[in-house]
């Protein structure tokens, strides 16, 4: 008997969490937080996605400690923010979806604020990502640092459970702290945490195992990893396979497969070049930041967007491990969604198409649309740095009246 195809609209069990379909909104920095707390704009953003049909929406970048932020207004997890997080999770649940907290630590990748002392990382040296804010040097983490960070991730995950989240996603890609161990671009250690791909993933796997032990009975524990860094000297798809195997052994319920690094290869992450003109508009007056981004953009290879641009890399990682995996990278159509599921991926993950149209999943289901109207212009990426939050420039501007703390009476 021929096995029936998995439908994108079939439910799925991810650890203790059941999703009503296979569509996940990727964590993508919303910039809809103020003073480290979510705003009503963030609540609306994720509620609209839930109403639009996603099974799981991901709240981007909740730092596990104040010094783990990369941007000044980013949410950092502490008890006083609980009412705001609960307002967010309650609204998404009422709209019919599950909600995941992307928890992470920037390490040396701190681009928007000054950190006292040296930033922490896998290795010591010059911190290229921190130069704009004076975070010039980084130091290699020792065992005391590692245990402190493990404890911070555990405490952050426990707070997310209390706030009503259904899952936590540990961000291990794109150049943040856990990726600074995984990637040979950052990790120059000579001890048991450096050298081979097996050694480089040792600390991130340790963090995940501790989080799993602490909250795994109640929350799905997800990890976002790179299938490759996309540049010479960086992690390869073969390294990605080893990372997946180690995280499977550590207890991951799902891996979200991404790629690229925030400094070295944004073009690889997005499958196309940054929208420099829109970045200049958003950063008007910030001449040094604009100059640095312009230099980086001009040094990047010219890349033309193509659908499913991580397919070759992700397929290798998919074949290397039995842990559930979600495909991300250039997915724009119901056809591409079915392609991923037919190839053994368990879920699909999108950001830009859902920023363009939060109702896309429902439109796929009703057959109103078979393909996203996203033009892949990457203008929305620039709005990570805009005070009104990320948006698609093909849509009306965000409602600035919602730029208040989520649980406030105003």
pLDDT at 286: 74
pLDDT at 4: 79
Judging by DSSP bridges, how do beta strands 37-38 and 33-34 pair with one another?
A: antiparallel
E strand map for 220-289: 220-226, 254-258
| pLDDT tens string 196-240 | 999 999 999 999 999 999 999 999 999 999 999 999 999 999 999
61 is catalytic: no
Per DSSP, the three-state class of 289 is helix
pLDDT tens track, the chain, 410 positions: 556 799 999 999 999 999 999 999 999 999 999 999 999 999 999 999 999 999 999 999 999 999 999 999 999 999 999 999 999 999 999 999 999 999 999 999 988 888 888 999 999 999 888 887 888 899 999 999 999 999 999 999 999 999 999 999 999 999 999 999 999 999 999 999 999 999 999 999 999 999 999 999 999 999 999 999 999 999 999 999 999 999 999 999 999 999 999 989 999 999 999 998 898 888 887 765 676 666 667 778 999 999 999 999 999 999 999 999 999 999 999 999 999 999 999 999 999 999 999 999 999 999 999 999 999 999 999 998 898 999 999 999 999 999 999 988 66
DSSP 302-355: P----TTTTHHHHHHHHHH--S-EEEESS--BHHHHHHHHHTT-SEEEESHHHH
The residue ranges of every structural domain in the chain are: 12-402
pLDDT at 385: 87
| pLDDT tens string 110-141 | 888 888 889 999 999 998 888 878 888 999 99
pLDDT at 85: 98
pLDDT at 287: 63
What's the topology of domain 12-402? TIM Barrel (3.20.20)
HSE (CB half, 13 Å, CA atoms) of 259? 31
| Cα(94)–Cα(373) distance, integer angstroms | 28
pLDDT at 90: 98
Alpha helix stretches (DSSP H) within 194-271? 197-200, 202-215, 237-250, 266-270
97, 100, 101, 105 alpha-carbon torsion, rounded to 10° = -150
pTM for this model (two decimals): 0.96
- Catalytically annotated residue among 61, 176, 309, 385: 176
pLDDT at 280: 86
pLDDT at 131: 80
């Amino acid at each position: 008997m021929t096995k029936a195809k998995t439908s994108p609209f079939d439910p799925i069990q991810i650890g203790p969490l059941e999703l009503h379909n296979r569509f996940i909104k990727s964590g993508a920095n919303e910039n809809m937080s103020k003073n480290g707390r979510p705003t009503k704009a963030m609540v609306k953003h994720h509620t609209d996605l839930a109403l639009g049909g996603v099974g799981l929406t991901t709240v981007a970048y909740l730092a596990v400690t104040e010094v783990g932020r990369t941007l000044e207004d980013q949410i950092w997890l502490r008890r006083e923010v609980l009412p705001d997080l609960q307002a967010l999770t309650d609204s998404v649940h009422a709209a019919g979806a599950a909600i995941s907290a992307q928890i992470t630590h920037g390490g040396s990748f701190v681009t928007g604020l000054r950190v006292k002392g040296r930033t922490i990382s896998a290795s010591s040296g010059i911190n290229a990502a921190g130069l704009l804010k004076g975070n010039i040097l980084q130091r290699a983490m020792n065992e005391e640092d590692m245990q402190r960070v493990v404890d911070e991730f555990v405490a952050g995950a426990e707070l997310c459970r209390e706030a009503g989240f259904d899952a936590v996603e540990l961000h291990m890609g794109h150049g943040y702290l856990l990726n600074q161990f995984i990637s040979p671009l950052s990790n120059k250690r000579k001890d048991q945490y450096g050298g081979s791909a097996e050694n480089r993933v040792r600390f991130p796997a340790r963090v995940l195992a501790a989080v799993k032990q602490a909250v795994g009975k109640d929350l799905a524990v997800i990890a976002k990893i790179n299938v490759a860094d996309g540049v010479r000297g960086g992690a390869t798809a073969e390294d990605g396979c080893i990372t997946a195997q180690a995280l499977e052994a550590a207890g991951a319920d799902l891996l979200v497969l991404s790629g690229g690094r925030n400094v070295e290869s944004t073009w690889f992450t997005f499958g196309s070049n940054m929208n420099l003109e829109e970045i200049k508009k958003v950063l008007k007056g910030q001449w040094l930041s604009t100059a640095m981004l312009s230099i980086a953009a001009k040094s990047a290879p010219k890349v033309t967007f193509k659908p499913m641009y991580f397919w070759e890399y992700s397929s290798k990682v998919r074949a290397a491990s039995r842990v559930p995996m979600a495909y991300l990278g250039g997915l724009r159509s119901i056809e591409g969604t079915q392609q991923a599921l037919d190839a053994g991926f368990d879920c699909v993950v999108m950001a830009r198409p859902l920023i363009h149209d939060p109702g896309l999943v429902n439109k796929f289901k009703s057959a109103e649309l078979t393909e996203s109207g996203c033009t892949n212009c990457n203008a929305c990426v620039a709005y990570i740095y805009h005070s009104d939050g990320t948006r698609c420039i093909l849509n009306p501007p965000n409602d600035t009246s919602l730029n208040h703390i989520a649980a406030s009476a105003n």
